[in-house]
Structure 1
């Protein structure tokens, strides 16, 4: 991967994310579920903290983003609409994320419009308290400094490394436009673009080799490995 610009923060690797989640699971399961959801879906911190029980449909493996939780003057908690019109949307749930939400919901006070992620007093988690706890857990796990918002970038990075298209990532993160996604993650598309040209080269080489062996061989349906996936045993 290209070296990032000086103003770009390098997100954690998948290995670092797993180490962080494992540490959280051992010392603070409630926060482990919160960060599992953020990393697994790319939610913004306020969207995760503003998530309410009716918006989570575990049977359908989907949740609906309708609010964001923020603190006025770092004190009074308020629910406001999501950041943009496209931010108000649905987000699919993987099995890991659904399991984390199920645990969080079971742990929370069972009020109709209760927040999924709550403190011991049944109140929504304060964003500042979540930020402090995140850095405590990160330091305990001896991981590099990143912010909670960087976990959203981590989600995009993992998807890109898995060869998910930029259009799908833009939809998942609920950006207002595809160009927004492309601009934010332009430094990450280098490996994807390089993989594309390497795939072209590999296909040409393979067809060329087959043609030399058998000039009448069809030059189509040539299976090639995914250049972004390691095939080492």
Structure 2
């Protein structure tokens, strides 16, 4: 049996075509055979310089046999063997979408251990410029900054695991430049718009209760769809939020541990749900209209929201902006941040305050005026 060649061991030869070729050992296969990495140069001097660079790159690195797989194959393996069951179904589906629609078309066929930071940066640039699958009427083919950042975060995670498994020497996502966070502006319905919204849903016997509960509790779309009658306590006036429905109709846990919570309902919302309980024959508070044994699909609720907004001649907002509307009006009407944080299922009250600085800034200004007036009265 031949002696195992150490990583970093190299060879140099002049090829028949006149070029110089150098090879270094960068790891070993399962059977102990060496894995080589080749570099080429027009002259021996040029080759030796490149070979020295490669030895520096692979110093203290021991690649394994998986280094020969393509990035596309690795992403499939990473998603199926490493991520499946460890992240929320919606997160996993998002990762699969990023892999299939954004990463694989650009780098999916390239050997994972040969992907460079330059390769990844070029992909980000192309995605930002023309990465959108379906052309948007305003943005065209340009992919949003947040989506490019999400693709980067997912690819970074997968490459860190590839490095851990010995498939790559270094994570090529390190050193890339990605767009800065640029979240969409929060949109809320002001009091006049909110009144109009409520008047429009008043005449919608199928969707009134759903959207009234949404606007009076600030629940997330999936949380609303996941409500069951066992979660409602009519005597105490409470509602337990303990599950969420995903667009693929799988039922999962709430977003975080703090998102599993019990809240007190406003009297008007309790009255709406109490009356609804008399007529809805399903375990779900908001069952699928076509199949009452299943909950409402979140995407269906979003489409219905767009229909209501158009009918009411209101601005086009996201479903999550109903949550922002609830929170903003709650703060401006005196609900403290700690209480609101629990209602919304936020991890910390500080997150609630940071999220709604546009409101808390005005509240602080009013507080300063109140304190100032109080002190003036004392000093008179």
Do the two structures share a fold, i.e. TM-score over 0.5?
yes
The answer to whether residue 337 in structure 2 is matched with residue 155 in structure 1 is: no
1:22-65 Cα deviation digits (max 9, x unpaired): 11111x12311111111111111110110001011112100111
Whether the 8 Å contact between 2:261 and 2:342 is mirrored in structure 1 is no
State how 1:133-152 maps to structure 2 within 5 Å. Answer: 133-152=304-323
Partner residue of 1:104? 276
Partner residue of 2:234? 58
The answer to whether residue 18 in structure 2 is matched with residue 18 in structure 1 is: no
Whether the 8 Å contact between 1:104 and 1:117 is mirrored in structure 2 is no
Whether the 8 Å contact between 2:214 and 2:323 is mirrored in structure 1 is yes
Partner residue of 2:213? 37
The answer to whether residue 373 in structure 2 is matched with residue 196 in structure 1 is: no
Instruction: Give me the TM-score of the superposition, normalised by structure 2.
Output: 0.50
Unaligned runs of 5+ in 2: 1-181
**Judging changes above 3 Å, is the alpha-carbon distance between structure 1 residues 57 and 6 closer, same or farther for their aligned structure 2 residues?**
closer
Q: How many residues align?
A: 197
Counterparts of 1:18 and 1:109, CA distance in 2: 30
Whether the 8 Å contact between 2:289 and 2:296 is mirrored in structure 1 is no
Instruction: Give me the TM-score of the superposition, normalised by structure 1.
Output: 0.79
Partner residue of 2:338? 167
Secondary structure of residue in 1 paired with 2:258: coil
Deviation at residue 155 of structure 1 after TM alignment: 1.1
Unaligned runs of 5+ in 1: 212-233
Deviation at residue 199 of structure 1 after TM alignment: 0.4
Deviation at residue 6 of structure 1 after TM alignment: 8.8
Counterparts of 1:20 and 1:180, CA distance in 2: 28
Partner residue of 2:153? none
Whether the 8 Å contact between 1:105 and 1:117 is mirrored in structure 2 is no
Partner residue of 1:176? 347
Counterparts of 1:153 and 1:94, CA distance in 2: 17
Secondary structure of residue in 2 paired with 1:187: helix
Query: Structure 1: which 4+ aligned runs deviate by more than 3 Å?
Result: none
**Judging changes above 3 Å, is the alpha-carbon distance between structure 1 residues 67 and 7 closer, same or farther for their aligned structure 2 residues?**
closer
1:112-171 Cα deviation digits (max 9, x unpaired): xx1100233313211111111111011100111111111111111011111222111111
The answer to whether residue 220 in structure 2 is matched with residue 47 in structure 1 is: no
Structure with bigger gyration radius: 2
Across the aligned residues of Structure 1 and Structure 2, the Cα RMSD in angstroms comes to 1.7
The answer to whether residue 255 in structure 2 is matched with residue 78 in structure 1 is: no
1:182-221 Cα deviation digits (max 9, x unpaired): 221122211101011000111123334xx4xxxxxxxxxx
The answer to whether residue 257 in structure 2 is matched with residue 89 in structure 1 is: no
Partner residue of 2:130? none
Deviation at residue 176 of structure 1 after TM alignment: 0.9
Whether the 8 Å contact between 1:34 and 1:100 is mirrored in structure 2 is no
- Whose RCO is larger (CA < 8 A, sep 6+)? 1
